[in-house]
Structure 1
Amino acid sequence: MIAQILFIALCLAAVALFSYNAKKVIRNIRLGKAADRTDQPQKRLMTMLKVAFGQTKMFFRPIPAFLHLLVYAGFVIINLEVLEIMIDGIFGTHRIFGGLGALYNVLIGSFEILALGVWVSCALFLVRRNILKLKRFSGVEMTSWPKSDANYILITEILLMSAFLIMNAADAKLQAMGYGHYISAGAFPVSQFLQNLLPDSATALVMIERGCWWFHIVGIFAFLNYLPYSKHFHILFAFPNTYFSNLEPKGEFSNMKSVTNEVKAMLDPSFTPEPAEPGRFGAKDVNDLSWVNLMNAYTCTECGRCTSVCPANLTGKLLSPRKIMMDTRDRLTEVGKNIDKTGNGFDDGKSLIDTYISREEIWACTSCNACTNACPINIDPLAIITELRRYAVMEESQSPASLNAMMGNIENNGAPWKYSPADRFNWAKEN
Structure 2
Amino acid sequence: MSYLDNILFAILLILGGGYFAQNVKKLIRNIKLGHDVDRSDNPSERWKNMAMIALGQSKMVRRPVAGILHIFVYIGFVIINIEVLEIVIDGLFGTHRAFSFMGGFYDFLIGSFEILALLVLVAVITFWTRRNIIKLKRFIHNDLTGWPKSDANYILYFEVVLMSLFLLMNAADLHLQTIGAPGYESAGAFPVSQFIAPIFNGTSESLVHLIEKSAWWVHICGILVFLNYLYYSKHLHILLAFPNTYFANLKPQGQFDNLESVTNEVKLMMDPNADPFAAPAPDADATPAKFGASDVQDLNWVQLLNAYTCTECGRCTSSCPANQTGKKLSPRKIMMDTRDRLEEVGKNIDANKGVFVPDNKSLLNDYITPEELWACTSCNACVEECPVNISPLSIIMDMRRYLVMEQSAAPTELNNMMTNIENNGAPWQYNQMDRLNWKDEA
**TM-score scaled by length of structure 2:** 0.96
Q: Which runs of 5+ in 2 are unaligned?
A: none
Q: Residues 117-156 of structure 1 correspond to what in structure 2 (within 5 A)? A: 117-156=119-158
Does residue 299 (structure 1) correspond to residue 309 (structure 2)? The answer is yes
User: Corresponding residue for 1:58?
Assistant: 60
Match of residue 223 from structure 1: 226
2:185 aligned with 1:183, yes or no?
yes
Q: Which shifted more, 7-16 or 263-272?
A: 263-272
Q: How many Å apart are 1:385 and its aligned residue?
A: 0.4
Give, in whole Å, the separation in 2 of the partners of 1:180 and 1:276. Answer: 75
Tell me, which stretches of 5 or more residues in structure 1 are unaligned? none
Secondary structure class of the residue paired with 2:59: helix
For residue 401 of structure 1, the aligned residue among 395, 409, 412 is 412
Of 269-278 and 214-223, the range deviating more from structure 2:
269-278
* In 2, Cα distance between equivalents of 1:297 and 1:277: 27
Match of 2:345 among 326, 335, 348: 335
Would the aligned equivalents of 2:348 and 2:356 in 1 still touch at CA under 8 Å? no
User: What is the Cα deviation at residue 141 of structure 1?
Assistant: 1.9
Equivalent residue letter for 2:269: M
CA distance in 2, matches of 1:197, 1:427: 89
**CA–CA distance in 2 between the matches of 1:179 and 1:235?**
39
2:371 aligned with 1:360: yes
Q: Secondary structure in 1 aligned to 2:167?
A: helix
Asked if the contact 2:345/2:356 (under 8 Å) is kept, the reply is: no
CA distance in 2, matches of 1:97, 1:128: 38
Query: C-alpha distance in 1, partners of 2:78/2:198?
Result: 30
Residues in 1 aligned to 2:287 and 2:87: alpha-carbon distance in whole angstroms = 52
Segment of structure 1 superposing worse, 28-37 or 336-345: 336-345
Matched residues in 1 for 2:297 and 2:17: separation?
29
Q: TM-score, normalised by structure 1?
A: 0.98
Alignment of 1:135-214 (within 5 A): 135-199=137-201, 200-214=203-217
Distance in 1 between residues matched to 2:302 and 2:103, nearest whole Å: 47
**CA-CA distance at 1:262 after TM superposition:** 1.6
Query: 218-227 or 335-344: which moved more?
Result: 335-344
Cα displacement string for residues 151-194 of structure 1 (whole angstroms, at most 9, x for unaligned residues): 00011001000000010000001001110100100000000110
Give, in whole Å, the separation in 2 of the partners of 1:118 and 1:220.
15
Report the CA distance between 1:278 and its aligned residue. Answer: 3.0
- Residue 38 (str. 1) matches residue 40 (str. 2): yes
**CA deviation profile, 1:45-99 (whole Å, cap 9, x unmatched):** 1011011001111111000000000000000001111110010000000001111
Q: Which runs of 4+ in 1 moved over 6 A?
A: none
1:386 to 386, 389, 397: 397
The alpha carbon displacement at 1:281 in A equals 0.3
* Cα RMSD, aligned residues only: 1.1
1:189-239: CA deviations, max 9, x gaps? 000110122353111110111011111110000000001111000000000
Contact persistence 2:100–2:106 (CA under 8 A): yes
Aligned: 1:264 with 2:264:
no
**2:376 corresponds to 1:374:** no
The count of corresponding residues between Structure 1 and Structure 2 is 431
Cα distance change on mapping 1:277 and 1:187 into 2, 3 Å: farther
